[in-house]
Amino acid sequence: MTAVAAAEHPTVATFETRLIRVPLTRPWGAEVTSVGVVETHVVRSDGAEGWGFSWTPQIGAEAVHAMLANDVADFARGRSADPGAESLALWQRLHEAGGGGVTTIAMAGLDLALWDAAARERSTSLTGFLGGQRRSAPAYGSGVNLHYPIEDLVAQARRWVDAGFDAVKVKVGKPDVAEDLDRMRAVREVLGPDRALMIDANQRWDLDRATRNLEVLAEVAPAWIEEPLRADDLAGHIALSERLAASSRIPIAVGENLHNVFRFDDFLRTSAAQIVQPNVVRVGGITPFLGIAAVAAEYGAAVHPHLLPELSGQLALCLRGVPGVPDPLVEDVEDAGFGELGALRDSAPVRIHNGALTETDHVGLGIRFT
């Protein structure tokens, strides 16, 4: 290869990782008091640098770090540094250890760093590199709050209203659905009739229980039910979707625990879900996230990214609109953004104000950790 060709097609020269723990201001449960972040740093053969990360709450951070420091690093060195060029090959290399989960979470650490390097090399942001489609994206208030006493839940809902959110998401899944209904009635009273209320069961129900519970919870007019069943129960989601279409018509949202484009296609092709929520890290990075968004567009399904607003928000600004499909909503979990947690070296690359996300001035992803 000539020197000119090498400059046009940079490769990965070095790839380094470090594991950090970020304490949560509001614990997500008795055992979830921090999140694990593996920051990654790539240097290309042309000298361009990029920073990315992998992320997981509490469980598996050490395993992700080990896979990044060993299998991913060994794969990456000397290969193309063009974003996405080696994404499928890396997945094919790693899926012997699992088609998703630790493997795809680890993949994100390399993928994000390569996108960051590509954007930084052009002195632009990720949205500048991909092509922004909108200046702002609506955000919704969210919380890990099933363990909150009802008084604290109501207070949280009031904070969301005061912050200007037009939509919020609340956890359900108490042993008795009557308690869930009492809690949702209280939240609905705070929200009023015009704000959207989404509910999230976090895989706590089986098919029959989900059917019964959603008949009860339909009273509060949920905008969607998220993860009503075990995430890998495709047949159950198909059956529940058919039941809901004939009764309450509550849309089903899935995605935070689906890990590759093939599984998203399964759920959309079979009408098992109407809304998808890919987590950009859990699916393996920006490259597969964009692939999932393209599949969702083919089926006319809404895409609302899961968590990580500093990055998900930038992608929401870049997704092309689909006629008849709502624009992406950005999830803002209360006091859980990296910027709010003091984890970022620089100011956050996005700002959420009055229920809308906008960008701040930055290059690349704009996400480097202290």
Max CA distance (Å), the chain: 71
Angle between helices 207-217 and 177-191 (to 10 degrees): 40
CA-based nearest residue to 130, from 138, 121, 120, 119: 119
Angle, CA 268 vertex, CA 267 and CA 272 arms, to 5°: 55
Q: Where are the domains of the chain?
A: 3-121, 127-359
Q: Spell out the CATH class of 3-121.
A: alpha beta
Quick one: tokens of 215?
A: 């008949």
Q: Which CATH architecture has domain 127-359?
A: Alpha-Beta Barrel (3.20)
Q: 330: Cβ–Cβ under 8 A, 6 or more apart, which residues?
A: 137, 138, 139, 140, 304, 305, 309, 312, 313, 316, 352, 357
Q: Could you report the per-residue pLDDT of 53-87, keeping only the tens digit for each? A: 999 988 899 999 999 999 999 999 999 999 999 99
Catalytic status, residue 174: no
Q: H-helix or E-strand containing 361?
A: none
Across the chain, which has 370 residues, the per-10-residue mean pLDDT values are 58 98 88 92 98 93 97 98 96 94 98 98 98 97 96 98 98 98 98 98 98 98 98 98 96 97 98 98 98 97 97 98 95 94 96 97 97
**Measured torsion, CA atoms of residues 353, 356, 360, 363, in degrees rounded to the nearest 10:** 150
CA distances from 25 to 51, 238, 339 (A): 25, 38, 12
Q: Could you report the per-residue pLDDT of 298-348, keeping only the tens digit for each? A: 999 999 999 999 999 999 999 999 999 999 999 999 999 999 999 999 999
Catalytic status, residue 304: no
Among 171, 237, 259, 362, which one carries the catalytic annotation? 171
Among 41, 304, 306, 362, which one carries the catalytic annotation? 306
Burial per residue of 346-360, b for 16 or more beta-carbon CB atoms within 10 angstroms, e otherwise: eebbbebeebbbebe
